[in-house]
Structure 1
Amino acid sequence: MSAAFSNTAPGASESHGAKPGVSRFGSAPQPRRKRSQVVRACDWCRKHRVKCDSHSPCSNCAKRGGECSNESVTETSLPLAHREIERLRRKVQELELELRQERARSLASSSLSPPALSVSSEYADSSRINFWGGIRMSTARSPHKTWYGPSSLFYFIGRINSFLDGTLQQPCSADHMLLDSSSRRLDEPTATPEPEEPSHGYSADPTGSPVTKATYLSPTQEEYFLDLFWQSYHTSLFPILDEAGFKEHYRSLWTASGNTRKPSALVDIVVAMCMQYGMSMLPAVKQQDFGDNNDAAIAGRWHYRRSQTLLARELESPNVSTLQCHLLCCIYLCCGSFQNMADSACGLAVRAAYMLGLHLDPPLSMPQREREMRKRLWWALYVLDSKIGMKLGRPFLLPHLSNATPSLPGDDLEAALQSGSNFAPLGDNITWLSFNLQQAKLFRAARTVHTAFYDRSPNVDDGRTMWDDQQALASHAEFIRPCMRGLDQWAAGVPVALTTKRQNNAAAFSTDVSALDIEQFAPLWLQRQRLLLELMYHNLCTNLYRPFISFVSAPTSAVAEEAAIKCALHAMALTNIMHQVLLTTTILAGWHEAFQLQWNAAITLVGFVLSHPHSASAAEARKAIDLSVAVFDIFSNSFAVATSAAKIMRDLGAKVDFLKQQQGQSDTSLPQANEAAVQMMMPGNSKILDNVLSMPDISTVSKTWDGALSCDDLNTASMQDVFNMAFAVDEWSNLDSLWPNMDQTMPEQYILGL
């Protein structure tokens, strides 16, 4: 060791065993150099236990000329590790959020625990998670309640009723919300018909079913109604029948004598639909001459019943004809306003479609005519399922934009030539099938918005709704704004041949109130196609914007207010179009769906005026309510239910004016105010009526009531009666209760209720 010391020159570096930072000869400590951090030594340095550095290649490997493993090593450090940890934490949080949302959506579809909308609502266990909720109502047929979702008109009526209950401060019992009609007397037994010898109008059924042993239509009468189908439902709803093939099939059913026809479920349901439509086109007086004199909306029910009996035999082995029957039965029930029965029929159609493999693209080995028919059937079912799901607020039965969904049906000249129908082309490769294609695209765009909107959580506390939180309402309004561009793009892409021109060069599908310029010499089916596309567009936009009509007194955000106004503008556009068309043409005469679209728009306008009395559009919306009354008066010549709708809207219009007057916002004179108030108290309020007649002006009435209304006062009972009728318009009881008189072509003992 001494030799080692003696050989060390003064000022030399510290030896291996020296204390760090201090010279061996006691000189002043030198500052220690910072050690170079090495992420990972290369393989050669680790093997030989020598110090490596962070160079690539390292100094040792560079000197020896060998391969350095540092070139393949990824550099890591503590900050990088922290950033990676944070990234993984965020990813876990995102996945957990997606899992919670997915679980919540599955629970929301089965949970029935919405906030109370009205005294007539009944909900499930409130402990379940439910983002949107719904409303339970008993139909006119049964005391049992059925559920309607947040997009349904029933739910919106419930919100209106809840608002009026709070305004009038006196809720009424649930019984006051249903009409006291014969359909509610369910305890009366129905007589079972006795079998009878087969009638000459229909061949005997081997099963001995009494339904098939009745006299229906003569061959001449059937031919008359069948001819209506090809110019109406075939062109302006769903082209799901091969016209040439159907007519050939119909001719094959008649025997040589020409007096009897073989059973056919498809022919019977087509006849039933056309009887429903054809009878509705006739004035009420002429409807009585034909047969039942109660309501044309359930004309053809005997053919419908017979079709159902025959269809039951095909449930185990369905074919394309079976699916066509289910689809047409659903349409028949929809036109008769049997919403739940139509929903059930749609479910049968969906299952039959899956059994037939229509959810897959047809193979190329199949003839083009058959391939196109299968596509039209699938997309007709998609549109029908979308209509019912959005109208009733219930889950859809068919997937949306699934990878297995077949492509859209063709509408070119080749597809039209092979469709079995002969209609002139419209130019620019547009045919009578183009309406069907555009209708499918419209519902695909609308359903995309509907699904995205109602799958989104309102982000409110338990027991609250989106309308209780203005921030949540504004957030949803911001969310739906870009979504609605899909419908705007659809409207911009509709071929000119399928649009109705406007006066003053206004754009088609706009909310401009300019009058339509209906082409006088266009075929009736084309005129109807053009109108139905525009009416359905306005109806879907109305429904998608309707959630932003809020009855909360707190001020809403500008974006939510804008959405509510758009809802009213689309409802007003629909009403203006409907009024002009019904007043000047017969294009929509007897068209049941047009009446239902108008009813939806009218109730929406009532809600808008009640919730936005200060809006610049409130005055125009109030005028549109009066216009809807005129529309219902025209429809009342065809539909019995339209008479009830007109009465409801008259009462609602008067009550809207009265509530506006109570807020000091009325623009009418005082004598007119008194007259409106008097009209609202008919009948059963004679005491109040006498008081009002004896009062000089409305201010006296206000002082007498002292700012509060009770059930004995003006509005509560009469208001509940009105909404009673409003609930009942879309939910008739059953076919026979609405049509008590028997068909003159049907023996009395074969009257069967649905």
Structure 2
Amino acid sequence: MAIRPRKKRSQVARACDWCRVHRVKCDSDQPCSNCRKRGGHCSNNGTNKIATLPQAFREIENLRSRVEELEQQLHQERSRAKSEDDVHQLHTPPSLALSASPEQHSARDNAAVETYPLKRFWEGIQINTARSSQKTWFGPSSLFFFIGRMNNFLSLALHQTHSANHMLPNSASKLMDGPATHSMDDQARRSATGTAESINAGKYLSPTQEEYFLGLFWQSYHTAYPILDEIEFKEHYRSLWTTSSKVRKPSALVDIVIALCMQYGMALLRDARREISAASRATVDNNDATISGRWHYERSQTLLASDLESPTIATLQCHILSSIYLCCGSFQNISDGACALAVRTAYMLGLHLDPPEGMPQRQKELRRRLWWVLYVLESKMSMKLGRPFLTHSSATACNLPDDHHKTAMLSGSSFAPLGEDVTWLTWNIHNTKLMLVARAAHTALYDKDPKTLNVPCTAPNIWEDSRLLEAYAEFMAPHMKQLADWASDVPDVLRTGRQGGIPLSTDRSILDIEQFAPLWLQRQRLLLELLFHNLSLGLYRPFVSFIPAAAPTPFASRSATKCAEHAMALTHIMHQVICSTAILAGWHEAFQWQWNAAMTLLGFVLAEPQNDVTPFARKAIDLSAAVFETFGDSFAIAASAANIVRELCAKIDIITERSMPKKPAAIQLRPDPVAQEVAQIPLAAGSEPLPAGIVNSFVPGLQPYDGYMNFDNDAAVAMQGFLEQSIDAMLGVEMYNSFDADFENLMSNVGSNDEWSFTQQ
């Protein structure tokens, strides 16, 4: 009988779940025969087609193709949205770099750089800084945005909801509608009598008082903002007085100069506020120094309204001084608007172009100084608020002003030359160059396309992606070097000396203030160095990250440390100058720089509790509170800032203490009966007892007379074995010879970084 061939069993790549669990043979039917007979659900339902390696590769290729197709569609959608709405981008015009040629500027300005949407990378913050509930936008370089980031981290760390508004000091802008407030009767009277009477109404100064405040201007703001011709201004002021009248004629320029000097001069009168309590000093009222001179400011604005259609150089001077007055009064948005109006007026007057050849040299230099002072003011304000620049390098053809002795003699002011070819105008040149370098770095940072960094970003914004921050920090390194190069070019006569340190550095050395130097020169030196530190910490501040890095970030960490170092250097300078001299007394911008540095230090301590610089930064925060207390004698916003810094310090100290590693508890070796017996062996006649330290080092469990040994767990286990071997060495001669080898083995186990210390019981 022929043997029938055995039927080959059907092979399946993967049995269904039920057959695998019950260990029965499965087939390739869908569903399989076993599941079909039992009427149950079979996992072989045809959904899992991938059974072999080639099928898996084909599926991977299909998925890759699909992903590329979706990415292309997303790219097209973003491009369409970009063309429809440019508001979703933050494009800052490139600034005028000192080393770049006009051809380079033109090519850079005309280059079409594809940028990511603003919401994804360089978002800002909506916050209400005034009394109104209406919020305004501040960009990523602003302190307001950094405060918002810090506030979010505090809310998460303390498990409490905090508002960023409570981290802003009380200012006139938060309590009043404008720099000047009026009662209902006053408003009704003004509307009834008209503009002519409103110009002459108000609380104005006597001729003697006006003369006093005008005298302050030439030694303070005039040397920092050289936009007036002193001789021409004094002639204009004398022409406003007539022999038959006790009241001068209205003048917008004179009024704004008086308002600015009243704001500064009233802040100098600090003794009148020293006896007021801290809570009262932090309250802004109608007598606060920040809004002194508001009547003159209002009359100046009323007079300027008639010059808007046909502006003059005096009109531009009024707009610049108005912006400074409002900024010192903490009216950030109104000040920004006044600065924008000044920029448009300068364009109307053609100041962005170099003066014509036929114009007298004196007027040429005044026009150049006007344009570059406005350029610095607008750049500084735009960087501070994080908003796009209004002045553009591509539209600027005006040369830098001159600072030679002949030009200084033609300026209308009689300041003595300082030697080394340096005059009172030289400071303005180096101040302008500093702003050009800082603005170039600012533009490079916020105009940098993240795609060119070749770093995949998975976070919703740049602040939450440590890899992208690291790439940006590495990219910014050569730009920040330009600031150091600028510092090396500053002449010695414009540097504040140091006692064993280097000027324009972060070594925090003690200032060596030249005693017999003019007050305006001492202030110029300090303002130049303080602005250098303020701009530097602002450029480094984006790299202070509140998100733990998944990988090492050496460039970003170094940038965050440099940010703290510049903030500490600024604080140490301010503390010495404000608490021991009167050079910057009542100078509102110096207070704002200190507030910027203090909040930056608070954020750094919160974000970098393990950094080696953090203890020094924490001490610098206490110094900043002392600076605010001194400023609080002049204006209430500073006293409010001191309270905020102390409250935040208390919260941050709690968080920092939680994040510090726990110190290991002291391990006390338990008593050993054998060791006690060894310690009680009577000594031979004539011998001396061993010192306690030697006995304790060989006998485990014997308590030392001055404490007990403190080890971590690993060291305690190794030490216990070593001590047991030491006992055997004392009781047996054979094992004593192996003591050295055992001791070396112990040292290799414990490690060179473990500490052995004695502590008091």
What TM-score, normalized by structure 2, do the two folds share? 0.68
Partner of 1:399: 392
Task: Describe the SS at the equivalent of 1:439.
Answer: helix
Amino acid at match of 2:365: E
Q: Is the 8 A contact 2:609 2:660 kept in 1?
A: no
Q: Kindly tell me: are residues 178 and 222 of structure 1, through their superposed partners in 2, closer, same or farther at Cα, counting changes over 3 Å?
A: closer
Aligned with residue 278 of structure 1, among 265, 268, 292: 265
Indicate the residue corresponding to 1:483 in structure 2. 479
Aligned-pair CA distance for 1:654: 1.6
Match of 1:631 among 614, 627, 634: 627
Conserved 8 A contact 2:255-2:300? yes
Structure 1 222/135 Cα, relative in aligned 2: closer, same or farther at 3 Å? same
Identity of aligned residues (%): 57
Q: Deviations over 1:74-132 (max 9, x none)?
A: xxxxxxxxxxxxxxxxxxxxxxx9xx99996996754599xxxxxxxxxxxx9876530
**Residue of structure 1 in register with 2:52 after alignment:** none
2:522 is the alignment partner of 1:532: no
Q: Give 2:433's aligned residue.
A: 441
CA distance change for structure 1 residues 312 and 334 in 2, over 3 Å: closer, same or farther?
same
Change (3 A) 1:637 1:108: farther
Matching residue within 192, 200, 214 for 1:212: 200
The equivalent residue for 1:303 is 296
User: What SS does structure 1 have at the residue aligned with 2:184?
Assistant: coil
Aligned to 1:241: 228
What is the letter of the counterpart of residue 143 of structure 2? L
For 2:341, the equivalent position in structure 1 comes to 348
Deviation at 1:295, TM superposition (A): 1.0
**Structure 1 equivalent of residue 135 of structure 2:** 145
CA spacing shift, 1:604–1:133, aligned 2, 3 Å: same
2:217 to 221, 229, 238: 229
Distance 1:194 1:597 in 2: 37
Q: Which amino acid aligns with 1:156?
A: F
3-state SS, counterpart of residue 147 of structure 1? strand
Q: Which has the higher relative contact order, 1 or 2, with Cα contacts under 8 A spaced 6 or more apart?
A: 1
2:321 counterpart residue number = 328
Secondary structure of 1:628's counterpart equals helix
Amino acid at match of 2:243: A
Match of 1:10 in 2: none
CA displacement, residues 472-528 of structure 1 (integer Å, 9 cap, x when unaligned): 111000111001121111110011110011111x22100011101000000000000
Task: Specify the SS of the correspondent of 2:127.
Answer: strand
**How do 1:534-549 and structure 2 match up within 5 A?**
534-549=529-544
CA displacement at 1:655 relative to structure 2: 1.5
> CA separation in 1, counterparts of 2:288 and 2:612?
40
**CA offset at residue 461 of structure 1?**
4.8
The answer on 1:191 being equivalent to 2:184 is yes
Secondary structure of 2:327's aligned partner: helix
2-structure distance, mates of 1:607, 1:105: 37
- For the pair 1:466 / 2:454, whether they are aligned, the reply is no
Q: Deviations along 1:286-326, whole A, 9 cap, x unmatched? A: 7999x986311110000000000000010000000000000
Q: 1:299 to 1:215 in 2, by over 3 A?
A: closer
Q: Structure 1-normalised TM-score? A: 0.68
Q: Is the 8 A contact 1:498 1:530 kept in 2?
A: yes
Contact 1:111-1:130 within 8 A present in 2 as well? no
Question: Which residue in the other structure is 1:376 paired with?
Answer: 369
1:161 is aligned to 151
SS of residue in 2 equivalent to 1:464? coil
Which ranges of structure 2 fall in alignment gaps of 5 or more residues? 1-74, 92-115, 277-283, 664-761
Q: Distance in 1 between matches of 2:568 and 2:662?
A: 21
- Contact 2:538–2:563 (CA<8 Å) still a contact in 1? yes
> Relative to structure 1, is the Cα distance of residues 162 and 292 closer, same or farther in structure 2, using a 3 angstrom cutoff?
closer
Kindly tell me the number of residue pairs found equivalent between the two proteins.
547
The amino acid that maps onto 2:196 is G
- Structure 1's 420 and 159: CA in aligned 2 closer, same or farther, altered over 3 A? same
CA contact (8 A) 1:516 1:577 kept: yes
Q: Which amino acid in 2 is paired with 1:638?
A: S
Aligned partner letter, 2:545: S
Say whether residues 1:422 and 2:417 are aligned partners: no
Letter in 1 for 2:257: V
| Equivalent position amino acid for 1:616 in 2 | D
Structure 2: distance between partners of 1:421 and 1:180: 38
Query: Is the 1:575–1:624 Cα contact (8 Å) retained in structure 2?
Result: yes
**Code of the aligned partner of 2:505:** S
Does the Cα contact within 8 Å between 1:294 and 1:640 map onto a contact in 2?
no
CA contact (8 A) 2:214 2:258 kept: yes
Per-residue deviation, 1:552: 0.5
Aligned to 2:612: 616
Write out per-residue CA displacement over residues 553-574 of structure 1, whole angstroms, 9 at most, x where no aligned residue.
2355011100000000000000
Distance across 2 between alignment mates of 1:222 and 1:335: 20
Q: 1:147 is matched by which residue type in structure 2? A: W
8 Å Cα contact 1:108-1:132 kept in structure 2: no
In structure 2, relative to structure 1, the CA distance for the partners of 1:529 and 1:184 (3 Å cut) is: closer
- Judged with a 3 Å threshold, the aligned counterparts in structure 2 of structure 1 residues 169 and 212 are, in CA distance, closer, same or farther, namely same
- Give the Cα–Cα distance (whole angstroms) in 2 for the partners of residues 246 and 587 of structure 1: 25
**CA root-mean-square deviation:** 3.2
Shift of 1:181: 9.9
Give CA-to-partner distance per residue, 1:151-205, whole Å, 9 cap, x none. 000000000011112212333578877899995698x9961526879xxxxxxx9
Q: Give 1:650 shift.
A: 1.0
SS in 1 for 2:136: strand
- Matched with 1:583 is 579
2:353 alignment partner in structure 1: 360
CA distance in 1, matches of 2:338, 2:355: 25
* 3-state SS of 2:186 partner: coil
The separation in 2 between residues aligned to 1:106 and 1:408, in whole angstroms, is: 39
Superposed, 1:693-732 pairs within 5 Å as none
Post-superposition Cα deviations, 1:369-417, rounded to whole Å, max 9, x if no partner, equal 00000000000110010111000000011003x3633010111101101
Whole-Å separation in 1 of the counterparts to 2:165 and 2:422: 53
How big is the shift at 1:257? 2.9
Rate the CA distance shift 1:266–1:293 in 2: closer, same or farther, 3 A.
same
1:556-600 deviations in whole A, cap 9, x for unaligned? 501110000000000000000000111221000000000000000
SS in 2 for 1:409: coil
User: Contact between 1:225 and 1:274, CA under 8 Å: does it hold in 2?
Assistant: yes
